[in-house]
Amino acid sequence: MKWQMARRAEKMNPSVIREILKVTEKPGIISFAGGLPSPKTFPIDAMREASERVLRDDGKAALQYAASEGYAPLREWVAQDLLKQGMNVSPDQVLITTGSQQGLDLVAKILIDAGSRILVETPTYLGALQAFTPMEPVAVGVNSDEHGVDPDDLRAKVGTGADKARFVYLLPNFQNPTGRTMTEARRAAVAQVAIETGLPIIEDNPYGDLWFDAPPAPSLSSRHPEGSVYLGSFSKILAPGLRLGYLVAPPALYPKLLQAKQAADLHTPSFNQRVVAEVLKDGFIERHVPTIRALYKQQCEAMLAALDREMAGLGLTWNRPVGGMFLWVQLPQGLKAIPLLDKAVEKGVAFVPGSAFYAEGADESTLRLSFVTATVDQINTGMSALAAAIRESLSGQ
Amino acid sequence: MKWQMARRAEKMNPSVIREILKVTEKPGIISFAGGLPSPKTFPIDAMREASERVLRDDGKAALQYAASEGYAPLREWVAQDLLKQGMNVSPDQVLITTGSQQGLDLVAKILIDAGSRILVETPTYLGALQAFTPMEPVAVGVNSDEHGVDPDDLRAKVGTGADKARFVYLLPNFQNPTGRTMTEARRAAVAQVAIETGLPIIEDNPYGDLWFDAPPAPSLSSRHPEGSVYLGSFSKILAPGLRLGYLVAPPALYPKLLQAKQAADLHTPSFNQRVVAEVLKDGFIERHVPTIRALYKQQCEAMLAALDREMAGLGLTWNRPVGGMFLWVQLPQGLKAIPLLDKAVEKGVAFVPGSAFYAEGADESTLRLSFVTATVDQINTGMSALAAAIRESLSGQ
């Protein structure tokens, strides 16, 4: 039996990270690789109570088919919550998605033709590249520094006519993979380029609530509301296993995204939407999220202290994130992350080689470290093992 | 702000059914329109207990990211359950999806290029057409009778070379919209055509467990396992609001469907998968599904009796389903379903005009009636109102 596959299927490949994560699941490995929120932060008791109340009081509706747009009280909560980011949106602009990953899939379907140019950060979120790939874009990396994309390079790469980029995909807060955050000035400059060139922004903000000392600057979407799609998620402030996210789109785009949503899975599980709406009642997030921030800040500081201690004199550089889940390491010249990973796993520690995150021109001497899954003790032990692997690699060069 | 949409977005249109369902949601309307399972059948107590147990015993795993393939015990349950349809599949071939609608989306991504011919029944499930449309196929209707597609016309329409159909999409049991079921002989003949021509089958079976007196014949996939993708669902035997379905694919196709799944929403909610796996333990389905069958059989019989009683002499014909949720009505010549709907809604009853369900050459004098959502009393009242609307329409011709 010969299956004739679609052309796009040939372009889809197994996730490199997925393969790496399999290696890191070996027992005894301390993993800085996965982007798994700490399960300590999952509000299990609140979920138990909310599930019980939803099924007791409203079980029939919670288990029935529902509107593709999402559950109205949840859409209202989202619209209200976005005020804190300077966004003034109607609940009618909110579409509940099956994780924010689905928002990327819907955006790709609606905005990308085969061969369309799209612009992404350097490096960028791998899951977004995977969501866009089936629609066969040409993904172009915009030069980026510690504050995100360079506005001048962004302007230079917008293009015109049929060659004009369909959108720029940006993750301004505690970016995956680098952990970097766009400053107020950079946001203003990037929004200005987008407005002047009519370039749509796809703004992904799964980590925005995970700030350590101060919230990040207002969103890009607040500066360019008619030209932006904003993606949000409950995965990092409640729990990823619910697969609950949302997008906010301007009225010009919303109906097509809604049709794509309906065709994709009819609607996001009504049960999950109602349970989360129940959990969110009465200001739960305001009490809960500070506990996540405190935990991740402590673990980030432990990782930075361990880097300072263990990596002194080895020629590495790294950034100091002000929130989120990740930090980004530049290895000394000539040391490549993929061979280093083999040696690190031998010594009981894992990370993700940075080269997985580039649309083009991968820097093979970078790596991503997650500071949220491992405990402080594990961070100390793991970083010592990683330093040993690096020393060994350097001496063998 | 001008958004440059993808070409496929232009082809996507709001669901006709969705617009109709809005009308039928007016208070006081008896609806035979929607395909909503009776909420009486939802196992709310079992869900409460299972949710409590899952969160109590395994909350951290239930709320964490999980494998794209799905939860292993649920995949094992599915493989075991399919034995009753004559399918001998490995759990490794099972991919848990966010409702079986997502299975259609994944199949479309992997198998359809723009302009690819695909074959569908006449009429066919509207949601499948909507899932396929974004990949821009040319959907060709195969001539069909009360037993499903005509094998000779199917063979004639397979095509060759670049023009060869990528698959035929079939819903053999209690089809949506017609309620018809493929006989054993028809299944054998259709499978024979598929095997001889190398035509892949996409077999959709959301209703197969809802038989009244005897289970349907073994699946098409059991006859052509290397050339079939089988789609199943928990929506009709447990509850649709969980959005839990699955697909079964041959090893040649599974990896690409898995990559498409990962790109689409990473994985189906772990919480929902674990709750359903918990509900399914210890033979729950064997006790629960017979109660759904008995209810739907009673309601179907009530609707058939009401049709016999109310429509005598009006020139309508209809089928007598042996399971499922729907029956199919042919109106007298010249009477069209869309204008009839307006009159019916005035009289307090709604249905779905059949023309929504055709890939090409719609028959405008057909309609779909659901017998599962309305009670027997509502069925009697609603059918009397529908007969009045038909009489009025006929007298006005």
CATH topology of domain A45-284: Aspartate Aminotransferase; domain 2 (3.40.640)
Of A9, A110, A265, nearest to B6 by CB-CB distance is A110
Q: How far is the alpha carbon of A343 from chain B, nearest alpha carbon, in Å?
A: 26
Closest CA to B274 of B72, B44, B46: B72
A109 contact residues in B (CB cutoff 8 A): 6, 8-9, 134
- Helical segments of chain A, H only: 7-11, 16-24, 44-62, 72-81, 100-111, 126-132, 151-157, 184-197, 254-265, 270-280, 284-310, 337-346, 376-395
Neighbour count for residue A49 (Cβ, 10 Å): 15
> Using DSSP, how many helices (H) and how many strands (E) does chain A show?
13, 15
State which residue of chain A sits closest to B130, comparing Cα positions: A263
Contact yes or no for B109 and A6 at CB 8 A: yes
pLDDT in tens, B126-166: 999 999 999 999 999 999 999 999 999 999 999 999 999 99
Of B62, B114, B244, nearest to A241 by CB-CB distance is B62
B270 contact residues in A (CB cutoff 8 A): 241
Task: Provide the terminal-to-terminal Cα distance of chain B, rounded to the nearest Å.
Answer: 49
Percent of chain B with pLDDT over 90: 92
CB B97 within 8 A of CB B106: yes
Percent of chain A with pLDDT over 90: 92
| CB proximity A252 to B under 8 Å | yes
pLDDT at B85: 85
pLDDT in tens, B274-285: 999 999 998 999
Q: How far is the alpha carbon of B66 from chain A, nearest alpha carbon, in Å?
A: 7
**Per-residue pLDDT at B14 exceeds 80:** no
| CB proximity B134 to A under 8 Å | yes
The two most distant CA atoms of chain B are separated, in Å, by: 66
pLDDT at A26: 76
* Ranges of residues in chain A whose predicted pLDDT is under 50: none
Q: How far is the alpha carbon of B265 from chain A, nearest alpha carbon, in Å?
A: 5
Please determine, looking at this structure, whether the domain spanning B44-284 carries the CATH number 3.40.640.10. yes
pLDDT band at B397 (very low <50, low <70, confident <90, very high): low
**Per-residue pLDDT at B24 exceeds 70:** no
| CB proximity B4 to A under 8 Å | yes
pLDDT in tens, B213-255: 999 999 999 999 999 999 999 999 999 999 999 999 999 999 9
Q: Tell me the average pLDDT of chain B.
A: 95
pLDDT at A106: 98
Q: How far is the alpha carbon of B23 from chain A, nearest alpha carbon, in Å?
A: 14
Residues β-bridged to residue A211: A323
- Please provide residue A118's backbone torsions phi and psi, each rounded to the nearest 5 degrees: -130, 150
pLDDT at A284: 96
Tokens at residue A61, please? 């509706």
pLDDT band at B26 (very low <50, low <70, confident <90, very high): confident
Contact yes or no for B105 and A263 at CB 8 A: yes
pLDDT in tens, B338-354: 999 999 999 999 999 99
State which residue of chain B sits closest to A102, comparing Cα positions: B265
Q: Which residues contact B365 (CB under 8 A, 6 or more apart)?
A: B330, B331, B332, B333, B334, B335, B336, B337, B354
| CB proximity A53 to B under 8 Å | no
Q: Which residues contact A393 (CB under 8 A, 6 or more apart)?
A: A335, A339, A340, A343
CB A101 within 8 A of CB A245: yes
CB B272 within 8 A of CB A271: yes
Contact yes or no for B260 and A134 at CB 8 A: yes
Residues β-bridged to residue A323: A211
State which residue of chain B sits closest to A46, comparing Cα positions: B55
pLDDT in tens, B364-385: 999 999 999 999 999 999 999 9
pLDDT at B22: 72
Domain ranges of chain B: 7-42+286-395, 44-284
Contact yes or no for B39 and A52 at CB 8 A: no
pLDDT at B239: 97
B41 contact residues in A (CB cutoff 8 A): none
* Alpha-carbon distances, residue A261 vs A104, A106, A243, B328 (angstroms): 11, 7, 15, 28
CB B124 within 8 A of CB B144: no
Neighbour count for residue A384 (Cβ, 10 Å): 15
| CB proximity A47 to B under 8 Å | yes
CB A212 within 8 A of CB A300: yes
- Please provide residue B246's backbone torsions phi and psi, each rounded to the nearest 5 degrees: -160, 160
**Per-residue pLDDT at B46 exceeds 70:** yes
- Please provide residue A10's backbone torsions phi and psi, each rounded to the nearest 5 degrees: -65, -30
Contact yes or no for A243 and B268 at CB 8 A: yes
Q: How far is the alpha carbon of A121 from chain B, nearest alpha carbon, in Å?
A: 19
| CB proximity A115 to B under 8 Å | no
Q: How far is the alpha carbon of A296 from chain B, nearest alpha carbon, in Å?
A: 17
Mean pLDDT of B288-317: 97
pLDDT in tens, B86-102: 899 999 999 999 999 99
Please determine, looking at this structure, whether the domain spanning A7-42+286-395 carries the CATH number 3.90.1150.10. yes
pLDDT in tens, B3-12: 999 999 988 8
Of B8, B98, B227, nearest to A1 by CB-CB distance is B227
pLDDT at A21: 67
Strand A317-318 versus strand B349-350 pairing type: unpaired
pLDDT at A230: 98
Alpha-carbon gap, residue B119 to B148, rounded angstroms: 13
Q: What letter represents residue B95's amino acid?
A: L
| CB proximity A203 to B under 8 Å | no
